[in-house]
Amino acid sequence: MEIALIDFRIIWIPFLISLALTPLVKKYSKWAKAYAKENNRTVHHGIISRIGGIAIFIAFITTAPVFLHPDQAINGIVLGGSIMFFTGLVDDLIDIRPPVKLFFELVAAIVLVVNGVSVDVIHLPFGIVINHPLFSFLFTVIWVAGITNAINLIDGLDGLAGGMSLIMLVVIGCVSVLERRLDVAILTFLLASSTAGFLVFNAHPASIFMGDCGSLFLGFMISAISLLGFKGSTIITLALPMLLLCIPIIDTLSAILRRTIKGMKFMQADKSHIHHLLMAQFGHQNTVIIMCGMTTLFGLCAYAYLINTTIGFTVMMLLLLVMELFIEKSAMISEHFHPLIGLYHRIVHRIKSIRQ
């Protein structure tokens, strides 16, 4: 089997490095005073390090040269990921303005494009094919910046961003093996293992947070790895990462609509994200389990789609329906935003009128 070609040291070595480094990062945080600040949006209490992403990054960056045979594309991903890591680290230590972070996200995305990691061709329904350098560039930049910020936005509960990222990476890695894209598989499993070692200390109740250095790094790497699949894979396309990233994508788009309706700035934080609303009903730990479970289900949809297109598509539509109903019932976007529920009530009212 193809899986036999995978060196399983890529799983346990990064894990052990990250596991050993995380307590050291916690000690360094005391000296650097890099603690998560408490405000009306946070759910933690006490002094907790917010630079745990250092352990993830070091575990990955030290093992990647050992197991990877980098080409220009891989080098571009690692360089762009490093840019995002250090941008997040500076923000964790001294706080930088959101436009500055966005600028470096664009720089990192441009690094990808320059090194050949981009969306070359977009296949739309009805046989429409878009193959234009400008469109490719813009789409790639928007995709990378969007997914990077989506992962950053869900980093609000213990183990949430790390847990969901781990699930996404494992699914992408497994499909990469099936597609015989061992370069993508090795890159993905190295990152997944590095994240898993950190999660031992980040699970609820967390003793350390990954911070922006971790969430921006993971978000960028996931977005970049999904684009790398365009270079030779027939399965690892935007469809798979969009399924896996469905929750953070929906959360981000909902935040944009919600803040626009309320006249807020896009970068202005609030407590109406999916995890905030779920936590009010189910508590901290259960919310993380629910969101990671939903991400797993979306990942399984991808596999189901490969086996049976009809079943995979049907299950995916049912999951999206559940997500939409939750958004409407929770007033996540607006108290007046309930298109499906409103349509249901109109249909029921119409049926009753006909019967009378």
Cα–Cα distance, 246 to 252 (Å, whole number): 10
pLDDT one-digit tens code per residue, 174-211: 878 877 888 888 999 999 999 999 999 998 888 899 99
Position 65 confidence tier, pLDDT thresholds 50, 70, 90? very high
Cα–Cα distance, 336 to 201 (Å, whole number): 41
pLDDT one-digit tens code per residue, 235-277: 445 566 677 778 888 888 887 888 788 777 766 666 777 877 8
Position 127 confidence tier, pLDDT thresholds 50, 70, 90? low
Q: How many angstroms separate the Cα of 9 from the Cα of each of 6, 121, 252?
A: 9, 35, 36
- Residue 12: which residues within 8 A CB-CB, separation 6 or more? 193
Cα–Cα distance, 330 to 337 (Å, whole number): 10
* Alpha helices (H) in 68-207, listed in sequence order: 72-94, 98-114, 133-153, 160-178, 182-202
For the record, the structure tokens of 79 come out as 């360089």
Q: Among the ranges 31-40, 93-102, 103-112, 127-136, which has the highest mean pLDDT value?
A: 103-112
